[in-house]
Structure formats: structure tokens, C-alpha cells
Amino acid sequence: MNDHDLSTTSYYGDQPGELISDREPKPEPSLRAKKARDLYFEAKSSASMEFPYWYTRRWDELDGEIPVIRRAEALKAGFEHLTPVIYPGELLAMGKASYLRGSYPMPWLSEAFFMAAEDKLYREAQESGKLTADRFTTMGKGGGNVTKSTGNVISIAGKFGLRVEEMPAMLEVAKKWKDRSVDDIGHKYEQMVPGYKEKEALMRSVICMFDSGYTLPQGREVINYYYPLQFGISGIIRNCEESLTEAAGYPSMDRLYFFKAVIIVLEGIQKWIRNYAGEAHLMASLAVEEKERTELLEMAGRLEWLSENSPRSFHDALQLNWIFHVAVLNEDAISGLSPGRVGQILYPFWQRDMKNGVIDREKTLELLEIMRVKFTEIDCFASMGVVGGVLSGNTFNNLCLGGLQKDGTSATNELELLILQAGITCDTPQPTLSVLYDEKLPEEFLLKGVECTKIGTGYPAWVNNRVAMEFLQSNYGHEGLDVEEARAWSIGGCLETSPGSWMPLELDGEIHWIPGGSAPATSVGVHFLSLPKLLEVALFDGMDMRTGERIFPSHGYRMENYEEIWNAFKDYFSRACHLLTLTNNIQHDAWRKISPSLVNSLLKPDCLATGKDIGQMGSRYNTTFNIETCGTANLINSLAALKKNIFTEHIFSLDDYRNALLANFGYKNALESGSYSLVDQVPTPDYDHWKKIHKASLDAPKFGNDNPFVDSIMKAWEEWFCSMAHNYRSLYDQPMYACQISVSTHGPMGAVTLAGADGRLSGTTFSDGSVSAYPGTDRNGPYALFNSATCWNHSLSQNSQLNLKIHPSVVKGREGSRKFLELIRAYLRKGGFHVQFNIVDSRMLRQAQSEPEKYRSLLVRVAGFTQYWVELGKQIQDEVIARTEYEAL
């Protein structure tokens, strides 16, 4: 490496040609989908108060009622008062709120972050460290984000617009939840954990990104559509009425209240659906064209039917799935509610419709395109640190394809090919797609997946079926998960391996085993831990040198050898895990008591059988809490540089390094330079003084190059982390496990971290994922990167994440597709869990950064999700630009 590396994108292979290469041309969506997507492009994220107003009003009316009944009545009031909106040309009706990208605050979870900055609630939240990440998050400035208040619109969290006439109501309703919200109740009791003040310091330093119990208490899981598809809403109500009579007066009385609560909330959902049917009738009465009138009347009829019954057709089934998807999203702040293996769940309906001539491929494709636009409309109302710093505005609805059937044969089908085709013709961020790769999957299907990935959508991601099944059997075997059930898995959220179950869908007298989610939220527990920041604090004996605050007590090591640095890091990491596990368990306990899940619970096997919601371990599988980390490659590279330069070659002392890190190697901080990667950084007048140590740091071996020295450090870290995570127990008294995805946290977490011994500069974004190389440091080609990434057993962890950026010319044409598939196969056959791609010319991204208005529809892959470039913050944009671009495979 040399100085030149700081000012340009790195390439593996030849430099690209002079002209910026576009991605391969792709077919257009249907006219209907195009219009729907164009309307989406025009729409801004908008919040409203209808649902929270009615929820709170009903909640207050029922003071003293059994909590789960009170919750059900409040949800019912919210659903039945939502104003229905149907947009021109829609084939799938209904949405979260009465705007196209509608969402709303849920003050029963947390009320502080959207209060005015001068409000006491807001100030208290800030002091406790709950909002520190907000301050270091850069929101995307374009697309649908309402980044500033204008006219009659107030901007909240740099993303959501709220009409000024609803603002006082929002504040008044929020204040009603003071000392009653999950956040406030959880906070009251988490302070009883010994050493609690240390937890607040962890949050203020952004060693930990956020609490999970009141921010996103559900999600990163797979929904289960089986019960509505099989029994219809009235069928579920009838089952609950029978169960209720069997529970009344007998021991385990909570079952009685649960069944009653499910009935109440389903009645609210029925009313909500019928309100939409009424709106469809109104819209039909106003329609000028006969075709539109007919479609709207069909929609009204469909909704009326589905408010009671199981679906009659593929279109019905798709609509019913969507209704329940939105219904779950409306009960909690949720990211990553994945629809799962939709193509396999709906295949029996589609197959029957095809056989009976009810539908054809063209109509199916149009419906699937419309489904994509509907999923893309989903927004999640959360604080800036969460919605921007973690989610980048994304909601992570992962649709999985491939994998195996119950009997171990390939699960893919013709409908899945059409889902991939819809992903090509109507490229939108949601639902993102993942292929559950197995050697048994047919070549035609895999090549179709490659065709989709290489047009630059960033999806499908490629995930290893075998590794996931091994992980599930290791971690859920004690709950009864066997190899057959392991095959029903799917990805929840961006990349969380989630257990599923096979459910017997009976259609025309034939049983079809369909997969669906069978566990509650994953990625709850400890979220996220910044590995480079923890190393930094270890090097400075427990101090956060950015703020001058002591985070941990002195570790007591003299740090005279590498092992002492490693041990100090491990001690602090373990200490953070211990504290955060306990405090988050309390928050989740408050959540399940105050705001228990009802809609998601009624869908998840075996809640309706046991009469317990998911918070009471009603799900079949419950070992879902985990410990999530960020910045792996920076940690490993830093440890490698310290080991080599201090303890092996004795070029520098630890104090030399401490001073260099404090001086940021003679560069300005990223917040001053405005650049969040090593590209375009600005030296200070002291630069020459630090040049030698910075160069030695950059020149030290880097992860991702098949270098045994670095890879052994990676292996030691992974084996230790994946093992120690089991020492912590979740709220449900289950062992936790390692989860290694960055999502977008590598932006804000990098922003608060000093320079690293790896040569990374202060305030710049960390490496993404967990086995991605740090941008620009993977110099030996993809296969060297694969060797490094698979130096440890990926089935020890819930996931690992690898990102590659490839120039479009490399995978061009049919030959390029085959070469690309072989590359993917090579990684997965080596035991890699996941790989995803950006097929893009980096110079196009730079151009899009300077002229965002010309690139409204440009999609990129970040870390487990695809997002519109213009809706990403600069922290993440810079990191994606800086990633090594592969010009050859």
C-alpha cells in the first residue's frame, strides 16, 4: 500500500475503461407496476396520528382491565378507525396508514425520541445514552425522506413528515405514555441491574448502538401465513371460541385471556378490511373507465370475502398474505418481518389457478410486480439512530427462494422463477430476495437467480442451505428441531437464520406441506457491539478518549504482550455482553407485559395450540436472542497491525500507537473532511510526523488476502465469540448465540470511533458485514478473499456476511452468467454462509453522489439489504464507493 491508496477507489484486475459502464439492460415492468412505482418515487415518508390516537384513547378507557385484553382492544380500535386509501391501478389493497408510505409513532413503546429537543422527556433520553446514535447518523438527503420542516409539514427523525395540525396531538398522546411506555417501565427496572451506570456509559459512547426492547421489539423473523390461508379469519375466530370455552375456569387461565384477545384483535382486522372494501366501492362508483370499475368491484368483493373466509385463488391468497403482513407491522415497531418462502407457500393456489385457466403467467408477473411495490411502500417509524443509523430507511422484508422441501428434495418451482423475473422487471428494494443455495437446486433456477443479481439489484443474496441447517440443529435441537424441520428455515430480516415449520395446507383434498416462520423475533438481545470501539477503549484502559468519559474500570493489564491486549479486549467485550443481556432482558420483559404481540402470535405455531403468545414462549422455537457485532474486519486488521508492528517487529511502542490514534495519524476527522472512507481525506500540518506509523499500519497484513497471519487472528476471534455467546441467557432462559451483520451501523459506530491501528481514520465508516474485507484492502482477488472468509466454521454463528463489488463488464452475457454462478458456488462450497454483490461501476456511484436527482431509481446493496442510493446517508455511500471493485474474476 502507498499514499495513493487514500485518494482513489481500489481495483482488482485491470483499471476500468474510460467510459462509465452501465449495468446490463433489463426489461421494463408492466405499465400498471410502472405507474405504481412512479407514484412511489414521488411520495414522501409520511406519519399520521390516527392509529396511535385511537389506540391510546381505548387503552385509557380500559384502565384496570386484564393487560392482554386491554392491548387487544387498543389494537382493535386502531385498526377499525384507520382511514382506507386505495391508489389508482392497485391490485393489492391496504397499507399501514392513510398515506402511500405511511407510518405512525407508537408511544406505548417509546415516546421520548420524537418529542421536541427542549422537552424534559427528550433530555432525559439523551442523558441516558438512548439517543446518542441519533447524533452521529447521517440520513439520506434525497428520495422519500422529509429531511427538514417546511410550510405545514414537520420533519421527524430526518425522515418522516407530519402535518403541522397533527403535531400537538402527537405530543399530547406521547405525554400520556410517560412512565407507562415499554421504554419507561423497562428503564425503571433496568436500573436495578448491578453496575447499571456502566450500561448508560456504553450507550453514550455508542459501543452499543441501541436497546432492542422498546425500539424494534419484533422482527428479523419470518411470518407464518398458514392459519389465515387454511382457515380464514372467521375460521380462526371459531377455533379460538372453542378453545376459550375449554380454558375458562381451568388452571393456566392466561389461555382464556389470550384466546379472547385474539378474537378481539381479529374483529378489528375484519372491520379494517371491510372499511377498505367500502372504499373500493366508493372508488368504483367514481371510476370513469369500465375496466377500472370492474377491477375495483372485484377488489371490494375480494376484501369482503377475505374478511371472513380462506382464499379462493392465488390473487386472494396474495392479498390475504399482504393483509396479515401489514397487520403484524401495525402492532409494533418492526423491521425485518420477512415473508419467507412465498413462492412455495402460494404454489398450490397458483398451480390450481393455472390448471383451471384462472390466471396466466403474464397476469401472475403483474401481480408479483405490484407486490414488490407494496412491500417497498412499507416504512418503519423509529428514531434517527434506528431508522437511519441501523436501517438506512429499509425494512428488510426478505423473500426466500430455493432450499429443500420437507422430504429433502429441491423446493423450487415455476412460481419462484416468476418471482425472480418480477425482481428483474420491477427492481425495487422490497422484498429483497435470497436464494437458499443447495446442491440439489436445478441449474435453470440458479442461472435465473444469477440473471437477477447481475443486473445490479443487489438481490438475490446467496445463502448456504447446509450451513443454516447445521446452525439450526445445533442451536434449536434442544427444543426439538430435527433435520426435517430444519429444512423449513428461511431468512428473517436481512440475514438472520430463522427456524420454520412445515404446515399442512389442505387444498381440494390434497395436503401440501408449506414452510413458515416458527419463532419470535431474532436480533433482540445485545445490539450492536462495536468491536473497533471496544478495542479502542481497551487500549486506553477503559476510557472513551473522544468524550473523556470512563466506560469500564481499569482492566489492570500492562499490555506488554499481544495476549494482554487480546485479553483486555475480551474482558471488556464480555462485560458489555453481561450488562446488556440483563438490561435488554428487562426491557423485553416490560414489552411482553405491556405490549404483548397478538397478531404475530396468532400466526406463529404453536401459540393457538398452547394458548400462549410469543412472549410467553408460545412459539415452537424460542432460542432467538443473540449478540450482534459490527466492524469485524477493522478489529482483526487492528489486532494484526498491533501484533506485527509492536510485538513481532518492534517498530513502534504501544504508546506510539496510542498517540497516533489520538492524533488521527495527522488527518482531519471525517466530520471535518466530510468524507467517511479513506478516500478524499484531508491531512493536517502535522501529517508528516505521523506518516511513518500510518504507512506501517496500512501496510500491515489485512484480512481478505488469504494471509495466514491475519486469518489466524480472525479464526481465534470467531471461535471465542461464537462459544462465549452461549454463556448468556435470554429472557426465555435460552442460550444466546453470535449474530454477525452490520446493517448500517458501521456508519454511525465508525463516526464515534478514533482512528484504528489498521490505519482507518477517525470518524470514518467501518467495514460492512462480518467477513467483508475493509474497503480497498482485498488485493489478491475473490478466491483469496473466500479463503480468508472461510477460515472458521460459519455454522457456529447465526450468520456471516460477505459483500463483493464487481464491475458490470465482468459478468456480461451468458458466459458472464456461468462464470458468476461458478464464483458463487465456489464460495458456498467452501462453507461460506452468505455472499451478496454490487454489480456497478464505482464511478457511476460517485456521479450519483454529486447529481442525485439523476439517479432516483439507482439501487445498491449495502449489508443485507438493497436500497435506493439517494435514500442512503453519506456515511454508507462513501463506504460503498470505497469497496474494492473487481475487474476480473
Partner 1 sequence: MPYLCKDCRYYLPVDVFTGICKITRAKLTPDDAFCEKSEKIPKCKFCEHFTPERDYLGLCMGNTLCYPDLVAAKCADFTWEKQP
- The answer to whether 203 touches 132, Cβ cutoff 8 Å, is yes
The window from 169-177, 339-347, 348-356, 529-537 that contacts partner 1 (CB under 8 A) reads 169-177
Select the residue interacting with partner 1 from 34, 135, 141, 163 (CB under 8 A): 163
Among candidate residues 654, 657, 632, 794, the one with its CA nearest the CA of residue 717: 632
Helix axes of 314-329 and 361-376: crossing angle, nearest 10 degrees: 10
Q: Which one, 50 or 571, has the nearer CB to partner 1?
A: 50
At its nearest, how many Å lie between partner 1 and the CB of residue 175? 10
- 451/815 Cα distance (integer angstroms): 11
User: Whole-number minimum distance, CB 168 to partner 1, in Å?
Assistant: 4
- Minimum Å gap between C-beta 258 and partner 1 is 27
Taking CB under 8 A as the rule, does residue 398 contact partner 1?
no
Instruction: Mark whether 494 is an active-site residue.
Output: yes
Of 75, 92, 100, 420, the one binding partner 1 by CB under 8 A: 100
Among residues 85, 447, 662, 826, the one that binds partner 1 under rule CB under 8 A = 85
Q: CB-wise, 1 or 287, nearer to partner 1?
A: 287
3-state secondary structure 416-436: HHHHHHHHHHCCCCCCEEEEE
Cα–Cα distance list, 683 to 198, 670, 678, 680 (Å): 35, 11, 11, 10
Local structure of 375: helix, strand or coil: helix
Q: Is 166 in the site for partner 1 (CB under 8 A)?
A: yes
User: Which C-beta is closer to partner 1: that of 53 or that of 786?
Assistant: 53
43 binds partner 1 (CB under 8 A): yes
Task: Return the SS3 of 86.
Answer: coil
- HSE-up of residue 315 (Cα within 13 Å, Cβ side): 23
Q: Return d(Cα 340, Cα 604) in angstroms, integer.
A: 13
DSSP labels, 618-655: -SS-----EEEEE-HHHHHHHHHHHIIIIIIS--S-HH
From 10, 30, 45, 762, residue interacting with partner 1 (rule: CB under 8 A): 45
* φ, ψ dihedrals at 103, nearest 5°: -160, 180
Answer yes or no: 496 catalytic: yes
Q: Which stretch binds partner 1 (CB under 8 A): 165-173, 240-248, 525-533, 639-647?
A: 165-173
* Under rule CB under 8 A, residue 172 binds partner 1: yes
Q: Is 168 in the site for partner 1 (CB under 8 A)?
A: yes
- Pick from 8, 21, 98, 684 the residue near partner 1 by CB under 8 A: 98
Q: In the window 214-273, what residues touch partner 1 (CB under 8 A)? A: 271
Q: Which three cell numbers stand for residue 686?
A: 502535522
If one asks whether residue 716 binds partner 1 (CB under 8 A), the answer comes out as: no
- Which segment (35-43, 228-236, 450-458, 546-554) binds partner 1 by CB under 8 A? 35-43
- Per CB under 8 A, the segment of 74-82, 706-714, 780-788, 802-810 that binds partner 1 is 74-82
Q: Candidates 96-104, 250-258, 259-267, 866-874: pick the segment binding partner 1 (CB under 8 A).
A: 96-104
| Min dist. Cβ of residue 181 to partner 1 (A) | 17
Q: Give me the least distance between CB of 159 and partner 1, in Å please.
A: 12
Least distance to partner 1, CB of residue 82, Å: 8
Residue 161 binds partner 1 (CB under 8 A) = yes
Q: Write out the binding residues for partner 1, residues 415-454 only, by CB under 8 A.
A: none
Question: Any contact of residue 297 with partner 1 (CB under 8 A)?
Answer: no
Q: Is 643 in the site for partner 1 (CB under 8 A)?
A: no
Catalytic residue selected from 485, 496, 718, 871: 496
DSSP-based three-state secondary structure for 336: strand
Long-range CB contacts (within 8 A, 24+) of 653-662: 654/539, 654/559, 654/565, 656/693, 657/539, 657/693, 657/757, 658/539, 658/540, 660/690, 660/693, 660/694, 660/697, 660/755, 661/536, 661/539, 661/545, 661/754, 661/755, 661/756, 661/757, 661/762, 662/545, 662/754
Q: Is the dihedral of CA 507, 511, 513, 516 positive or negative?
A: positive
Which residue's CB is nearer to partner 1, number 384 or number 472?
384
Out of 49, 174, 208, 531, name the contact with partner 1 by CB under 8 A. 49
Q: Exactly one of 94, 106, 146, 367 binds partner 1 (CB under 8 A); which one?
A: 146
DSSP 664: G
Run of H or E residues at 226: helix 226-247
For residue 719, the minimal CB distance to partner 1 (Å) is 50
152 in contact with partner 1 (CB under 8 A): yes
Q: Compute the chain's Rg from CA coordinates.
A: 26
Cβ distance 458 to 425 under 8 Å?
A: no
Q: How far is the CB of 307 from partner 1 (least distance, A)?
A: 15
Q: Does residue 148 touch partner 1 according to CB under 8 A?
A: no
Q: Is 372 exposed, middle or buried (0-12, 13-18, 19+ CB in 10 A)?
A: buried
The three-class DSSP label of residue 757 is: coil
We find the least distance from the C-beta atom of residue 292 to partner 1, in angstroms, to be 10
Alpha-carbon distances of 865 from 230, 582, 821, rounded to whole Å: 31, 30, 20
Q: Do the Cβ atoms of 519 and 597 come closer than 8 Å?
A: no
Least Å distance, CB 49 to partner 1, is 7
Please, what is the minimum distance in Å from the beta carbon of residue 234 to partner 1? Answer: 21
Nearer to partner 1 among residue 143 and residue 493 (C-beta): 143
Q: Does 103 bind partner 1 (CB under 8 A)?
A: no
Residue 149 burial by Cβ neighbours in a 10 Å radius (0-12, 13-18, 19+): middle
484 contributes a contact to partner 1 by CB under 8 A: no
C-alpha cell at 354: 393455472
431 cis-preceded (ω within 30 degrees of 0): yes
Indicate whether 289 belongs to the interface with partner 1 (CB under 8 A): no
Report phi then psi at 808, rounded to 5.
-55, -35
Q: Is residue 62 close enough to count as binding partner 1 by CB under 8 A?
A: no
Whole-number minimum distance, CB 165 to partner 1, in Å?
5
Backbone angles phi, psi at 218, to 5 degrees: -125, 170
Part in contact with partner 1 (CB under 8 A); list of ranges 84-92, 112-120, 419-427, 505-513: 84-92
Q: Is 41 in the site for partner 1 (CB under 8 A)?
A: no
Q: Which is nearer to partner 1, 77 or 261 (CB)?
A: 77
Name the residue nearer to partner 1 (CB basis): 26 or 35. 35
Taking CB under 8 A as the criterion, the residue among 18, 25, 27, 42 binding partner 1 is: 42
Residue pair 757/642 in contact (Cβ under 8 Å)? The answer is yes
Q: Residues 6 or more apart from 613 whose CB is under 8 A from it? A: 68, 258, 592, 596, 597, 598, 601, 607
Q: Is 592 in the site for partner 1 (CB under 8 A)?
A: no
Q: What is the DSSP letter of 390?
A: I
Q: Name the residue nearer to partner 1 (CB basis): 65 or 484.
A: 65
> Which residue intervals of 430-518 are DSSP H helices?
443-452, 465-476, 483-486
Residue number with CB closer to partner 1 (173 or 642): 173
Contact flag: residue 275 with partner 1 (CB under 8 A): yes
Nearest of 861, 637, 642 to residue 771 by alpha carbon: 637
282 touches partner 1 (CB under 8 A): yes
Catalytic residue among 494, 722, 739, 791: 494
As measured in angstroms, the least distance from the Cβ of 333 to partner 1 is 20
Instruction: By CB under 8 A, name the one of 34, 44, 141, 512 that touches partner 1.
Output: 44
Cis peptide before 606 (omega within 30 of 0): yes
Considering only residues 9, 10, 46, 581, which one is a binding residue for partner 1 as defined by CB under 8 A?
46
The separation between CA 313 and the C-alpha centre of its own chain, rounded to angstroms, equals 31
Q: Which residues are catalytic?
A: 494, 496
What residues make contact with partner 1 under the rule CB under 8 A?
Answer: 39, 42-47, 49-50, 53, 57, 80-83, 85-88, 98-101, 144, 146, 152-153, 161-169, 172-173, 176, 271, 275, 282-283, 286
